[in-house]
């Protein structure tokens, strides 16, 4: 029973022919298109993706023409040739032609050529077995997918379609007829001969996306009239948008089993929807967003109707909530449908990393071959995402397939999801690093563990003394504690290999970040602590690479205290210790910019911008921008921000 329920709004799918009663806002377009079809043999209906072409045909054009009882309509669409198989281009057409039982009856055509599998043969047989069926309208939706088939299949289809449109009787049928007529002139009756040579009055409506309109030139060799008569379906107007929202909610019919009872919208709720989907300056709206939002409104109405039986339920502005959340929920629901962690991760990487340029909030297109190779995604998963309408498949004139995010409305959600995912991944990496270091440290002798604890306590006491006592006394105590720590370090580090030393360094670095930065947001205290560790590491001559990282971190903390000169000095020292660590080079470039040494900074930036930042897996150009924006968002802005933006070619928003 539930499967027979009809929603008042189709959501992301197109309207069906059976839903013509609730299809509203396109009366003018329906009339104009039907008038054009009435006078022209071939018409092309085109419009942007999501403009509602299929809905217009299904729930507008076909019901209007059917009501006039002519012509006979054969409506089908091309599917993606996803398996790149041969002999599949006619599959949907034959299914449409065969579904009429009368068309399976034996006709006199079998006396000429038995069961020829061509378009002309099937339509002629349909005409013979269905009296008064002399006029046909063939509607080919999703014609974009025609170009996904092999050149051989395309050629065959063009030839057959041309024969159907322009030929009374195909030459092979004529030849067989003449041969059999010479052998037996009475093998067909005069009436049958007259019907055989009666023309098929066939009209053609091609439905295609605007971006693929020029590809129709590829079929002009057989269908010369294909580029003559066009009808462009524009986005629905602002005025008609109000009708498309209100009318289906209030429509009543005892013959339709709706999923919801009638309901209505308060004026503020309708205005909120329209404002969300309105293209300012064009007085047009986004039909895709309208249907998705109203579909959600109907689900809200269904829930409210469970507790109310008398008056009409009213959808309020509070019921709608944050409209962006509707698309966020829609996007995240994709991964619930995938229901596989590995496949979900692959899909997220493709969508959130490969198909979006985050800085300019721009959708990118990627060839199918690159996706399959670089993202290890199965083609079946790709098509599943296409069916869910998060991605769309495009086919170039050469037949190469590419994918892109289907709609700009998903960009904010995808960018936010990417940010959350990356933060979670970074947190997981930090946790894994801390766990690994903790395991390493546990393996070190109890004496060394005691030393680490003593060292941490020593530094903590120094920090307390610096905060509570006068600067001179604090420095004296700091020096005393440092000397004691040095003695301990010299004794203990002699017994440690590099990995064990690295474990100690990572642990102390983690303590500074977690305690003073993440928990207390106290960069001044973090810098002071980092300075002491740098002095200790110098005194005990710790490995250069570890000392370099320590000085670079110290310099980074100094940015937030706005001590740019000191930050540069320490990062330069880090670079001198180890010039092969790329992220230190990146910090050095930032330090140069903050000290208005623009040439030095830009030289380093352009040297490393295309290198990969291994910790996060992105390019240094992206990490460089992120770090500058992190500083800027914390009130740490370069002295000559405009100069940096000019040199780098981006804005620090």
Looking only at the bridges linking them, the beta strands covering 201-209 and 135-141 are: parallel
Burial class from Cβ neighbours inside 10 Å (0-12, 13-18, 19+) for residue 400 reads: exposed
H or E, element range at 490: helix 471-493
- 273 neighbors 245 (Cβ within 8 angstroms): yes
Q: Which of 75-79, 171-175, 355-359, 464-468 has the highest mean pLDDT?
A: 171-175
399 versus 192: the higher-pLDDT residue is 192
**287 Rama sector, left if φ>0, alpha if ψ -120 to 50, beta otherwise:** alpha
CA 349 vs CA 318, 423, 615, 619, 641: distances in Å: 35, 14, 16, 15, 33
141 phi and psi angles, rounded to 5 deg? -85, 165
**In the prediction, which pLDDT does 619 show?**
78
Of the candidates 557, 522, 507, 552, the residue with the CA atom closest to the CA atom of residue 534:
552
What's the pLDDT band for 500 if we cut at 50, 70, 90?
low
Burial class from Cβ neighbours inside 10 Å (0-12, 13-18, 19+) for residue 239 reads: exposed
Residues 6+ apart with CB under 8 A from 565: 595
Give dist(CA 20, CA 65) in Å, integer: 12
- State the alpha helices, DSSP H only, in 494-519: 498-511
Give dist(CA 442, CA 459) in Å, integer: 21
**% of the chain beyond a pLDDT of 70:** 80
Of the candidates 23, 18, 21, the residue with the CA atom closest to the CA atom of residue 4:
18
Give dist(CA 32, CA 64) in Å, integer: 12
**In the prediction, which pLDDT does 447 show?**
45
In three-state secondary structure terms, 258 is: strand
Q: What's the distance, CA 629 to chain centroid? A: 25
Q: Report, in this order, helix, strand and coil percent for the chain, each rounded to 5.
A: 65, 10, 25
Sign of the Cα pseudo-torsion (572, 574, 576, 580, in order): negative
94 versus 150: the higher-pLDDT residue is 150
Give dist(CA 630, CA 632) in Å, integer: 5
Give me the residues paired with residue 313 across strands. 263
Looking only at the bridges linking them, the beta strands covering 72-77 and 230-232 are: unpaired
Triad 552, 555, 439: Cα angle to 5°: 45
**In the prediction, which pLDDT does 60 show?**
93
Is the pLDDT at 467 greater than 50, yes or no? no
Is the pLDDT at 312 greater than 90, yes or no? no
- 298 neighbors 262 (Cβ within 8 angstroms): no
**389 Rama sector, left if φ>0, alpha if ψ -120 to 50, beta otherwise:** left
Give dist(CA 250, CA 258) in Å, integer: 11
Tens of pLDDT, residue by residue over 97-120, are 655 544 555 678 888 988 788 889
Tens of pLDDT, residue by residue over 525-564, are 888 888 888 887 787 777 888 889 989 999 999 999 889 9
What are 427-432's contacts with CB under 8 Å, separation 24+? 429/615, 430/510
Give me the residues paired with residue 263 across strands. 313
Give dist(CA 354, CA 358) in Å, integer: 10
Tell me how long the chain is: 653
Q: Which of 65-69, 124-128, 295-299, 519-523 has the highest mean pLDDT?
A: 295-299
Tens of pLDDT, residue by residue over 7-16, are 999 887 888 8
Is the pLDDT at 250 greater than 90, yes or no? yes
Of the candidates 396, 42, 33, the residue with the CA atom closest to the CA atom of residue 214:
396
Tens of pLDDT, residue by residue over 386-442, are 888 888 787 665 567 888 888 878 888 899 999 999 888 888 888 888 777 656 554
Mean pLDDT value of segment 372-380 = 89
Sign of the Cα pseudo-torsion (283, 286, 287, 292, in order): negative
432 versus 614: the higher-pLDDT residue is 432
Mean pLDDT value of segment 467-491 = 52
Q: Which of 127-136, 221-230, 453-462, 551-560 has the lowest mean pLDDT?
A: 453-462
263 versus 95: the higher-pLDDT residue is 263
The structure tokens listed for 199 are 């023309």
Is the pLDDT at 341 greater than 70, yes or no? yes
Count of Cβ atoms closer than 10 Å to residue 563 Cβ: 16
Burial class from Cβ neighbours inside 10 Å (0-12, 13-18, 19+) for residue 368 reads: middle
Average pLDDT, the chain: 81
Is the pLDDT at 485 greater than 80, yes or no? no
**In the prediction, which pLDDT does 31 show?**
94
CA atoms within 13 A on the CB side of 626: 13
472 versus 132: the higher-pLDDT residue is 132
Give dist(CA 466, CA 458) in Å, integer: 12
Predicted TM-score (pTM) of the model is: 0.60
Mean pLDDT value of segment 640-645 = 78
Mean pLDDT value of segment 293-315 = 87
Helices 287-305, 323-338: crossing angle, 10 deg rounding = 90
**In the prediction, which pLDDT does 96 show?**
59
131 versus 303: the higher-pLDDT residue is 303
Give dist(CA 520, CA 60) in Å, integer: 63
Mean pLDDT value of segment 44-68 = 89
């Amino acid at each position: 029973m539930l499967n027979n329920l009809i929603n008042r709004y189709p959501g992301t799918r197109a309207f069906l022919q059976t839903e013509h009663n609730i299809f509203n806002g396109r009366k003018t377009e329906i009339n104009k298109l039907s008038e054009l079809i009435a006078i022209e043999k071939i018409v092309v209906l085109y419009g942007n993706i999501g403009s509602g072409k299929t809905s217009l045909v299904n729930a507008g054009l076909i019901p209007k023409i059917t009501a006039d009882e002519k012509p006979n309509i054969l409506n089908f669409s091309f599917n993606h040739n996803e398996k790149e198989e041969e002999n599949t281009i006619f599959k949907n057409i034959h299914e449409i032609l065969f579904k009429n039982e009368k068309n399976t009856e034996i006709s006199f055509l079998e006396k000429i050529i038995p069961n020829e599998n061509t378009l002309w043969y099937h339509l002629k047989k349909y005409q013979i077995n269905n009296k008064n069926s002399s006029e046909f309208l063939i509607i080919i939706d999703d014609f974009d997918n025609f170009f996904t088939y092999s050149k051989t299949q395309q050629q065959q289809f063009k030839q057959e379609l041309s024969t159907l449109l322009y030929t009374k009787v195909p030459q092979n049928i004529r030849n067989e007829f003449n041969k059999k007529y010479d052998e037996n002139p009475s093998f067909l009756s005069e009436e049958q001969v007259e019907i055989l040579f009666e023309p098929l009055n066939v009209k053609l409506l091609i439905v295609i996306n605007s971006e693929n309109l020029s590809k129709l030139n590829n079929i002009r060799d057989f269908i010369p009239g294909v580029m003559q008569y066009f009808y462009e379906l524009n986005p629905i107007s602002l005025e008609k948008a109000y009708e498309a929202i209100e009318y289906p909610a209030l429509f009543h019919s005892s013959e339709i089993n709706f999923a919801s009872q009638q309901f209505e919208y308060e004026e503020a709720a309708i205005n909120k929807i329209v404002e969300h989907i309105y293209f300012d300056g064009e007085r047009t709206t986004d039909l895709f967003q309208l249907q998705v939002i109203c579909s959600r409104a109907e689900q809200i109405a269904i829930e409210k109707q469970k507790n109310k039986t008398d008056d009409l339920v009213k959808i309020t502005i509070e019921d709608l909530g944050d409209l962006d959340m509707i698309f966020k929920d829609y996007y995240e629901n994709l991964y619930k449908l995938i229901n596989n962690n590995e496949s979900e991760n692959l899909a997220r990487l493709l969508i959130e990393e490969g198909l979006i340029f985050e800085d300019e909030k721009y959708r990118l297109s990627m060839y199918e071959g690159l996706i399959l190779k670089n993202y290890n995604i199965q083609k079946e998963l790709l098509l599943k995402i296409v069916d869910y309408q998060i991605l769309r498949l495009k086919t170039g004139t050469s037949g190469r397939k590419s994918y892109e995010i289907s709609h700009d409305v998903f960009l904010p959600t995808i960018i936010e999801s990417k940010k959350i995912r990356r933060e979670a991944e970074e947190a997981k990496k930090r946790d894994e690093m801390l766990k690994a270091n903790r395991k390493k440290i546990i393996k070190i002798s109890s004496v060394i563990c005691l030393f680490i604890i003593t060292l941490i306590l020593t530094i903590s006491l120094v920090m307390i003394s610096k905060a509570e006592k006068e600067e001179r006394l604090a420095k004296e105590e700091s020096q005393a504690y440092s000397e004691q720590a040095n003695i301990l370090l010299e004794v203990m580090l002699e017994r440690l290999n590099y990995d064990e030393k690295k474990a100690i360094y990572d642990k102390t670095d983690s303590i500074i970040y977690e305690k003073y930065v993440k928990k207390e947001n106290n960069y001044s205290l973090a810098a002071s602590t980092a300075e002491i560790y740098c002095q200790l590491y110098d005194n005990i001559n710790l490995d250069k690479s570890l000392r370099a990282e320590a000085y670079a971190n110290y310099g980074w903390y100094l940015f937030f205290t706005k001590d740019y000169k000191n930050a540069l000095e320490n990062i330069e020292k880090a670079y001198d210790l180890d010039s092969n660590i790329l992220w230190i080079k990146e910090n050095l470039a930032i330090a140069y910019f903050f000290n208005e040494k623009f040439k030095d900074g830009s030289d380093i930036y352009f040297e490393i911008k295309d290198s990969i930042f291994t910790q996060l897996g992105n390019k240094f150009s992206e990490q460089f921008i992120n770090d500058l924006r992190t500083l800027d968002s914390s009130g740490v802005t370069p002295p000559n921000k405009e100069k940096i933006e000019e040199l780098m070619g981006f804005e620090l928003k």
